[in-house]
Amino acid sequence: MLDKQNKYTGRRIRSSYFTTIISISLVLFMLGILGLIILNAKQISNHVKENIGFSIILKEGIKEVDIAQIQKSLDAESFVKSTHFIHPDSAAAELQRELGEDFINFLGYNPLLSSIDVKLNADYANTDSLSVIESNLSDNPKIKEVFYQKDLVSLVNENVNKISFYLLAFSALLLTIAMALINNTIRLSIYSKRFLIKTMQLVGAKSSFIQKPFILKGIGNGIIASTISIGLILIFLYYLEKQIPEIIDFNNIELYGALFLMVIILGILISWISTILAVRKFLRMETGNLYY
């Protein structure tokens, strides 16, 4: 009978131990993913902004040498990320695919002009910069028009700023929830040892002596959980890099090193604080209340 009870108790302790580590690992994984988003927020924002651009419509009859000169001068500008020349025939073929009909045969000529599509560097993807760029380019006698969607540019910049604010607020909320979850998980794991804690206290053991093995084990659990969560983050990064390679930059080792160090520190710190609070709770508790 005693052997069965000991086996049952052992299973409960092992189950509690694994539950604690898995729970902490999952919480740290979520914090790590959030940290990853925050650390890559600038790159994600730049990726969105650098898809903003404008089209330069060239005047009819412009020579190829003039087109090459305009494109070359654009490529040398600090606000330009890339340029792409579009021939009138290519533009007409694309428009025909979109419309689903041959408008050139209907009109008898190709009304489209040569153009250059320009993609902006992220720092210039705002309405103020684009207004200045538009004004300067419009002075060129070989350029007929500079076209871009003003409303879209304003909307993108507004949404990027809003998302950054909401992301920081969500980070603070998730960190608070994570600490509460880990604290409750550790408290439940120590609950099974409440009688041992009280017995050690009753025989005269100092609080620091009683707390020490629990704290060391809590720190160990934090390290193990952090290692598991880092492994999960690496798997997530690998998958994300396959799907959206332009957002994830594996060359920035310092960035990911800082992220993994943050996960380890959070795992150790939260486990350490939660363990101390849980053990102190049972140290202060009256013996009679341990049964409830």
Cβ-Cβ contacts under 8 Å for 16 (sequence gap 6 or more): 188, 189, 192
What are the pLDDT digits (tens) for 249-271? 666 677 788 888 888 888 888 88
Question: What confidence score (pLDDT) does residue 16 get?
Answer: 60
Give the residue-averaged pLDDT of 114-122. Answer: 86
Best mean pLDDT range from 42-51, 118-127, 164-173, 203-212: 118-127
DSSP letter for each residue of the chain: -HHHHHHHHHHHHHHHHHHHHHHHHHHHHHHHHHHHHHHTHHHHHHHHHTT-EEEEEEPTT--HHHHHHHHHHHHTSTTEEEEEEE-HHHHHHHHHHHHTS-HHHHHSS-----EEEEEEPGGG-SHHHHHHHHHHHHT-TTEEEEE--HHHHHHHHHHHHHHHHHHHHHHHHHHHHHHHHHHHHHHHHHHTTHHHHHHHHHTT--HHHHHHHHHHHHHHHHHHHHHHHHHHHHHHHHHHHHH-TTT--TT-HHHHHHHHHHHHHHHHHHHHHHHHHHHHHHHHS-GGGGG-
Q: What is the rounded CA–CA span in Å between residue 73 and residue 243? A: 35
Give the residue-averaged pLDDT of 128-141. Answer: 84
Task: Check pLDDT > 50 for residue 2.
Answer: no
Q: Are 127 and 150 in contact (CB under 8 A)?
A: yes
Question: What confidence score (pLDDT) does residue 162 get?
Answer: 73
Give the residue-averaged pLDDT of 77-93. Answer: 84
Q: Which tokens belong to 219?
A: 């720190």
200 by Cβ neighbours in 10 Å (0-12 / 13-18 / 19+) ranks as middle
Please give the residue that has the higher pLDDT: either 246 or 19: 19
Q: What confidence category does residue 8 fall into, taking pLDDT thresholds of 50, 70 and 90?
A: very low
Task: Check pLDDT > 60 for residue 7.
Answer: no
| 131 closest CA partner among 154, 113, 114, 109 | 154
Q: What confidence category does residue 67 fall into, taking pLDDT thresholds of 50, 70 and 90?
A: confident
Give the residue-averaged pLDDT of 38-47. Answer: 71
The CATH number assigned to the domain with range 53-147 reads 3.30.70.3040
Please provide the average confidence, as pLDDT, over all residues in the chain: 76
What is the reported pTM?
Answer: 0.57
First to last CA, the chain: 25
Question: What confidence score (pLDDT) does residue 291 get?
Answer: 56
Question: What confidence score (pLDDT) does residue 120 get?
Answer: 85
Give the percent of the chain with pLDDT over 70.
79
Q: What confidence category does residue 180 fall into, taking pLDDT thresholds of 50, 70 and 90?
A: confident
Q: What confidence category does residue 23 fall into, taking pLDDT thresholds of 50, 70 and 90?
A: confident
Q: Is the dihedral of CA 126, 127, 131, 137 positive or negative?
A: positive
Q: Which tokens belong to 10?
A: 């052992």
The residue extents of the domains of the chain are 2-45+157-291, 53-147
Torsion of CA 247, 71, 110, 141, to 10 degrees: 130
Residues in the chain: 292
Q: What is the rounded CA–CA span in Å between residue 220 and residue 271? A: 9
Lowest mean pLDDT across 25-29, 142-146, 150-154, 273-277: 150-154
Task: Check pLDDT > 80 for residue 164.
Answer: no
| 36 closest CA partner among 242, 230, 268, 271 | 230
Question: What confidence score (pLDDT) does residue 169 get?
Answer: 76
Task: Check pLDDT > 80 for residue 240.
Answer: no
Give the residue-averaged pLDDT of 97-120. Answer: 77
Q: What is the rounded CA–CA span in Å between residue 232 and residue 33? A: 10
Q: What is the rounded CA–CA span in Å between residue 100 and residue 47? A: 32
Task: Check pLDDT > 80 for residue 181.
Answer: no
